[in-house]
Copies of this chain bind each other. A is one copy, B any other.
Amino acid sequence: MDSPRHPLDPLTAREIQQAADVLQRHVPGSDIIFRVITLWEPPKAEMVVFLDMEHGGKETPKSPARVAKVQAHVNKTFSEFKVDLGQQAVVSHETLHGRHSHIDGEYMRKAELACMADARVKEQVASLDLPEGATVVVESWTYGPDGMNDITKRMTMCWFYMRVSDDPDANYYAYPLDLCVEMSEKLEVVNIFQLPSGENDRVETRDKPNEFDRRKIHEGSEYYPTLNTQQRTTTKPYHVSQPEGPSFAIDGNKISWEKWTLRVGFNYREGMTLHDIRFDGRSLFYRLSLAEMFVPYGDPRTPYPRKAAFDLGNDGAGLCANNLQLGCDCLGHIKYFDGWLASHAGTPLKLPNVVCCHEIDDGILWKHTNPRTGHAAMTRSRVLVLQTIITASNYEYIFLFYLGQDASIHYEVRATGILSTAPINLSTPTVPFGTVVAPGVMAPFHQHLFCLRIDPAIDGHTNSLVVEESHPLPLHPKEKNPHGVGYTTTQTYTPHETGLDLDHRVNRVFKMVNEHVRHPVTGTPVGFKLVPCYSQPLLAHPSSWHAKRSEFGAHAVWVTRYNHEEEDEEMFPAGRFTMQSEGGEGIASWIEHRRRRRRRRTEDGEGDDDEVEGGVVRDADIVVWHSFGSTHNPRAEDWPVMPVEKMVVGLKPVNFFERNPALDVAMATQERNLSVLVGGGGGAECCEEVVPGGIGAVRIF
C-alpha cells in the first residue's frame, strides 16, 4: 500500500518523494543534499484526541496533518524543514547553525580515500613496513570532542587496520596499526597520530609509526565461515512450525496479538519504535523507543578519549538496520516490516526487513497443582517478539521487545559483533584499561549506556512516578512488630523532574501510576512498574566531555514532564544533535533549566503554580527514561566475535488489571503441542511402585 493508513505510520515512499519535490520547488535552483526525510509525528496533543476517538469508535476521527521532517544541506547550509504533505508546502524552516548532521556514509568513505591518498600518510604507512600482500583498511569514526581541539567543525578520525588475507571478509580488527589520522571537514589531513604502544608510552616522542612487529601475525582471530574452518557439526536441526499460522494479525503497521494492540514505527534515528500500546483495550504506553546510546571508551591515552560513539544520535539505529534474513536472524513464522529512508537526492530508499515479528514459546507461564487432588493446571507462555538489529562499524546490537500474555513487556539488548581494538606491544601483556585478546591486540574497556524512553499512558495521559521501597517495621517488643519480622512499603510520589538511582538493598521499585483510576480491589492507583537493569552509571568524570555530552548516563531513572511546546527538543536525552556536541543539552540540562526557573519564581514570591514551567511531574503528562547498560571489560571469550551479552528491562502491571491477565490462557496439552519423547525411562525395575497423580509431592507417602 502506498497510502498511509494511520497518522503514526512512517512516511511512504511516495510521501518521501513528495516531500523532496516540495522542498526542491520551495528553493528552486538550490543545491540540496537531503539528509533526513521522515515522519514528523503529529503533536501528541492532537494524537491523543485522535486516538481517543479512534478507540472510542464513535466517529471517524479527522487525521492530524501529515507532515514530513526534512533535514538537508541547502547550498551547504544545514537546515530543517517541515513539509505539510496535504498542503504540499514548506510550513517551517530552521537553519541549524553550528550543528552537524548525522554520519554520512558516503562522506566517510571519501574521508578514508582522501586519507589514503595523502602523501604524508602514504609515507607513514610505508614506515610501518607491512608484510607483503597485506591490505590496509581505514575505518573512519566521528570525532568525540576531548578538549584537545576546536570542536565546532566536523572532524573525522581515521583508524588503521590491516588484513593479511586476500579475503575481504578477513578480520582486520586483528591487526590494528600504529597510526591514526585526523581529517578536516574539507577532507584534508590535519594531524597524524602515532598510537601509544605500551601502557605509559608517550606518543609525542615519535614522529613516525613503529614498524609492524611481524611476530604479531597469528591464527585464531577469524570469524567468517570461509576463513574459520572449525565448524561444529553436532548441532542438529531445530524447526518451529505453526500449522494454523501465527497468532498475530497485521494490518499495515498495526499488530494485534492475543490481547495486545500496538503500532510499529521506524525512523532513521531510533530505528524501531512502538506506539499506542494497549492491552485488552486499555491504554498502557503512548510510545516506547530506545532514545539514545553512548559508548565511551576508558583508555585515557591520547588520542583514544576521542573514541565515544553515539550510535543513535550520530549513526542512526534506522540507518544501520540490518536486512533480516528468514531462518537466520529469525526462526519460525516470520512477518517482516520494511523501512524507508531517502537518498541524498531525495529519492526513497527501501530498507527491507528491518523489523521482524514472530512468536516464541517461553516455557511455563503459570502452574499450580492441587496437592489434594493431584490435578495440575498449567499454561505455556507464548511471547511475541519484535526484533531489529543494527551494525555500527565493528559492533552489532540486537534490540528486542517481548510482549507477554500476562501483559508484561520486556526490552532486551544483545550486544555482539567485534571488539574495537588498538595496537599494543608484544612486550606489554597487560594494561590497566583494557584486555589483550590476541598477540598485539588490545581491546579497551568501555561502557555501553542505553536510554529507553518510556512515554506512559497508564489508563490515560495524566500519570505520576512513585518510588516504592520495602523497609522493616520498627522493632516494637509486644507492640506492632514484636518478633521483628514485619515489613512494609513506602510510596513516594516524585514531585518534580529529577534523576533517580537504583537501590536493590531497599527493593526500590519505580511505578508509573494514574491517580485518577483506582484499582477495584486494592483501591490503589493503577500502575505499571519498571523492572530495571542493574548496571553501573557513566564512569567518566563529571567534568569530562563524555559526561557533559551524555547527561542521561548519570542516573538510572529520570522523569520529565512531556514538553508539548518543544516536542523535538526533548525526544533525545543527550540532545537533539549529538554529532560533535558540546554537551549541556541533555536531560539533566532540561531539568536544571526548569528547576532554576522554579526556584526563581519561588524566590520572587510568584509561588510554584506554573506546573509546566516548574517541571511538576505529579499527576502530569510525564516521560520516564531508563538508563542502563554494561561496563564492558572485554574477556578473551569476546574475541574474535562476541557471544551476545544480554541486558533486560521489564515493564509489568502492578495493580492495574483486576487479576492475572493471563488467567484465560488455554491449558497446555500434548494433543495440541505434539512433543516427542526421547529415549524413555529406565524400564521396569524391581520393587517399582509408580506413584499416581499429577505430582510426586510430599503427600504421596
Contact = CB atoms under 8 A, between A and B. Distances in A.
A244 interface: yes
A673 B393 CA distance: 28
Given A232-B664, A482-B300, A487-B433, A220 B658 contact: yes
A473 interface: yes
Contact of A486 (B299, B408, B522): B299
Given A439-B521, A445-B487, A235 B665 contact: yes
A411 interface: no
A50 interface: no
A16 B682 CA distance: 16
A238 B361 contact: yes
Interface string A353-366: 01001111101111
A305 B104 CA distance: 65
Interface residues of A, number: 234
Residue of A168, A367, A393, A638 with most partner-chain B CB within 10 A:
A367
Given A258-B235, A700-B105, A701-B106, A327 B485 contact: no
Contacts of A122: none
Number of copies: 2
B489 A633 contact: yes
Contacts of A327: 668-675
B698 A320 contact: yes
Contact of A677 (B244, B326, B391): B326
A445 B488 CA distance: 8
Nearest to A520: B636
Interface in A160-209: 168-169, 200
B352 A696 contact: yes
Given A236-B245, A300-B485, A505 B326 contact: no
B416 A363 contact: no
Contact of A354 (B250, B404, B696): B696
Which secondary structure dominates where chain A touches chain B? Answer: loop
Given A320-B697, A701-B104, A433 B336 contact: no
Interface string A308-335: 1000000110011111011111111111
A687 B348 contact: yes
A583 B499 CA distance: 42
A637 interface: yes
A246 interface: yes
A14 B364 contact: no
Contact of A502 (B378, B504, B524, B689): B504
B105 A698 contact: yes
